[in-house]
Amino acid sequence: MSIEVLTLMFFAALLFFLLLGLPLAFVLGGVSVVFLYFTWGFDSFYMVASQIWGTMGSFTLVAIPLFVFMAMILERTGVARDLYRMMHLWCGGLRGGLALGTLGICAVFAAMVGISGAAVVAMGTIALPSMLERGYDKSMALGVINTGGGWGILIPPSILMILYALITGVSVGKMFAAGIMPGVLLMVLTAIYIIVRCHLQPELAPALPEEERASWPEKFRALRAVLLPIGVVIMVLGSIIGGITTPTEAAAMGVLGALISAAVYRQFKWSVLQEAAIRTFKLTGMIMWILFAAHAFSAAYQSMGAQELIESLMNMIPGGPWGIIIAMMVIVFLLAMVLDPVGIMLITLPVFMPIVESLGFDPIWFGILFVINMEIGYMTPPFGFNLFYLKGIVPPGITMGDIYRSIVPFVLVEIVGLGLIMVFPEIATWLPDLFF
């Protein structure tokens, strides 16, 4: 059977079972094992086992449950509530000030937790009711939370960056350093959009009335709320960039910082630790099963010889090397609308990375573009995770259609940021070159 027919059957089977609603790990692994058996026979399973065994020996993997555990604890400490009160006092007097403050909190939260859902749930619970009560347009409020919540996978520490480094063999520390400037860029672009839009349409996000604005002593007292988050960020990122710890060891530092925060906020309780641990086990287990399935997929895909087919198809794309990179970004963007980000990485990266490196592009730079696309995928319908996190906590009057419509301008802003990083790679590569 020709490679073209095998490839068509393989991906058609994957798509068919995913559309049935079956879990990604079992679809990816099950279909791959069936194709392996019929193309190479029973002995091919030893190749899958060998790859999985090699991965399980990776010290980098230890960082995943540690960062997840850190996020689960911080989500329950009350840090987000105090941060929002501080931003409310400092920014509330501006048009769109609460939206800008929410963006800032999301960026701080992203620098602490490494996953997307934590900031969406925290800000959806705390900031959304506050903005709606003060006359904010619901599309503006929803869009800000949706956008800022996605930065958890771009601003380090990021679990997706760890997986990217694991799959491609690049440095986790370099990926973390590379994510800082693009994260700041996207935050600045989104803030500019909010400021301009609120200047042109002040009714979308009115400033707080005079009687609700804080005095300067109150504002300065509220700044204490940022001390613990900054301490956690320094413990994690500062120890990596300063060369004190590896990214895996920094994850343990992050857990220590989260436990200290819980103690300061008087949330250091057995019930909190137990719930955080159980959720960490569940999320880590899901990631590991997807990782195992991806090894089966990689073995099956390579054994069919489809790598050469994809490379030849990519070379037929007009526009030379840049045309190929843009085509990859479009493919990832479309996949991110319907598939789990971890699954997309494990399906596409074994195919894309040899092509990217053969074209002479920096894999760190490409990794940042890839992660930004995953972040946009968290925001976009029909299956963006942030959309469903938000739907679970919004007031009854807000529909899924409202949430879908709210993200359109923010996605366009993110795409502009993605384009700038493509045109100016130094935005992503400057810090890794400086520190490493």
Give pLDDT < 70 ranges for the chain: 1, 55, 114, 117, 211-212, 302, 305-307, 310, 338, 383
Nearest to 98 by CA among 190, 221, 189, 194: 194
With a CB cutoff of 8 Å and minimum separation 6, the contacts of 327 are 314, 317
Q: Are 107 and 151 in contact (CB under 8 A)?
A: yes
pLDDT tens, residue by residue, 28-71: 788 888 888 887 777 777 777 777 777 677 777 787 788 888 87
Q: Are 169 and 67 in contact (CB under 8 A)?
A: no
Cα dihedral: 315, 320, 321, 324 (round 10): -60
Distance CA 140, CA 406 (A): 7
**CA distances (Å), origin 417, targets 160, 175, 334, 421:** 19, 18, 18, 6
Helix, strand, coil share of the chain (percent; to 5): 80, 0, 20
Return the pLDDT at 306. 64
Return the pLDDT at 387. 82
Buried b / exposed e along 56-90 (16+ C-beta atoms within 10 A):
eeeebbbbbbbbbbbbbbbbbbbbbbbbbbbbbbb
Return the pLDDT at 370. 94
Q: Are 83 and 229 in contact (CB under 8 A)?
A: yes
| Sequential DSSP letters for 287-336 | HHHHHHHHHHHHHHHHHTTHHHHHHHHHHTSTTHHHHHHHHHHHHHHHHH
pLDDT tens, residue by residue, 79-108: 777 777 788 788 777 888 888 888 888 888
Q: Are 373 and 335 in contact (CB under 8 A)?
A: no
Cβ atoms within 10 Å of 285's Cβ, excluding its own: 12
